[in-house]
A = this chain, B = another copy of it.
Amino acid sequence: MASEERIRATYWLHCPPSDASREAEELCLEQTVEVPGELVKEGWIRDHIVGRIERCRQYQGFFEVEVSFSPDITACTLTGLLNVLYGNISLKKGIYLSALSLPGSFVSSFQGPRFGAHGVRDILGVHGRPLLAAPLKPMGKSPQELGALCYELACGGIDLIKDDHGITDQSFSPFRERVKECIAAVRRAEEATGRRVLYFPCVNSDFEDMERHIRWAVRQGVGGLLISPFITGLAFMKYLAASRFAGVPLMAHPALTGSFFQGPGQGIDQAVLLGTLMRLAGADLVIYPNFCGRFPFTGPQCLSINKALSEPLFGIKEALPVPAGGMSLENIPALRGFYGDEVVFLVGSSLFLRRASLRENASYFLSLVKKEGEGSKELRPPLTKP
């Protein structure tokens, strides 16, 4: 198989120089055959199944090793890819997956986002500016109360309204009641303003209920679905994105992914996990922790995710980046300067805290992205509280 038709994963190995080549070789075995090298010295399994060290170079304090894998060993599945990339070695120490390059022959087995960035914009009829998103919160409000918030946000000019990802199907906010209220609120607002709004209910649930909830919600006319793929299973989102019954945009939430991003000593690079893998798994929109918010991502980390969501990937559609988590209205002009227009700004508490009505706050938010140059371009101190 031509080398360019292989999956290429770059790892950082934190080990003494004398151990580097042995550690790299053991990684190639651990992620594939799971036997010592002496049991696969030569032959088809050694040549075709065992990972291959393509390149190894030393940096200060660690080694960067590029390993290639045959796509065949993943059975061209997302689950197979996850396992080959980081299944067993996640359990070791000092191995970081820093980059991933997938060959066209592998990617062609995936559909990726059904709508993608352009598709979502086409549904909304909004181009040339950042999209605006806002959450319905806090958990504990009744479906009627959340529906009322939804109406105000929609009238004010928010494009995408999502449930907080912890709001699921609780006794105090049953899924169906909430979805009905919010769809009705969005319809009323659309009639009043003539502007399209998409409501994304949170569909996270145990398996027994999730598909049933989704089928019902899509029939009711939800604008999209919010899902936390590392809570429900990443492969389930891929299944939704390719299914007939869930033909609406999917917004992915990063809950439970944080332990992978604790630094370059161990884990998976945020651009690989929240960028490439989320996109491959069919997310049309990917929420991640914005820098200068209450989570410790940096600006360059955020841009690396955006790049992975939009760079050419063998015909897989681009996904929209959704920085969130302590986004402040004050920072929107500066953030627009930083991110450009191909982004969704998800603002929560800052919308609810501003001293005007929620509808006025939403309108103000819209005004910030409608007029180039309005507002301070300087980043203000972050919102550090939830």
Contacts and interface: CB of A to CB of B under 8 A. Distances in A.
Given A172-B72, A296-B93, A348 B256 contact: no
A34 B235 contact: no
Contacts of A141: 45
Contacts of A206: 77-79, 235, 238-239
Contact of A385 (B26, B268, B348): B26
Given A79-B232, A141-B45, A385-B26, A256 B87 contact: yes
Nearest to A89: B258
Which interface residue of A32, A78, A386 has the most chain B CB atoms within 10 A?
A: A386
A91 interface: yes
B166 A257 contact: no
A254 B86 CA distance: 11
Interface residues of A, number: 90
A17 B138 CA distance: 29
Contacts of A45: 138-141
Contacts of A88: 255, 258, 325, 386
Interface string A189-224: 000000000000000111111100000000000000
A93 B88 CA distance: 24
B138 A34 contact: yes
A197 B92 CA distance: 32
A356 B203 CA distance: 55
Number of copies of this chain in the oligomer? 2
Among A48, A91, A259, A348, residue most surrounded by chain B Cβ atoms (within 10 Å): A91
Interface in A58-80: 72-73, 75, 77-80
Contacts of A207: 233, 235-236, 238-239
Nearest to A169: B75
B40 A170 contact: no
A262 B266 contact: yes
A203 B386 CA distance: 40
Interface in A17-47: 26, 29-40, 44-45
A137 interface: yes
A256 B166 contact: no
A209 B75 CA distance: 12
A35 B349 contact: yes
A294 B169 CA distance: 43
A267 interface: yes
A168 B75 contact: yes
A83 interface: yes
Nearest to A78: B206
A35 B352 contact: yes
Nearest to A384: B26
Contacts of A126: none
A10 interface: no
A84 interface: yes
30 contacts: A32-B139, A33-B137, A33-B386, A34-B138, A35-B137, A39-B353, A45-B138, A72-B170, A73-B139, A73-B166, A75-B169, A77-B169, A80-B205, A82-B231, A82-B255, A83-B165, A83-B231, A83-B255, A83-B256, A87-B231, A88-B386, A89-B258, A90-B255, A91-B258, A91-B295, A91-B296, A92-B295, A206-B235, A232-B233, A233-B234
**8 smallest beta-carbon distances between A and B, as pairs:** A233-B233, A90-B258, A33-B138, A87-B255, A207-B239, A91-B258, A45-B140, A49-B140
Interface of A: 26, 29-40, 44-45, 48-49, 72-73, 75, 77-80, 82-84, 86-93, 135, 137-141, 164-166, 168-172, 204-210, 228, 231-236, 238-239, 242, 254-262, 266-268, 289, 294-296, 325, 348-349, 352-353, 383, 385-386
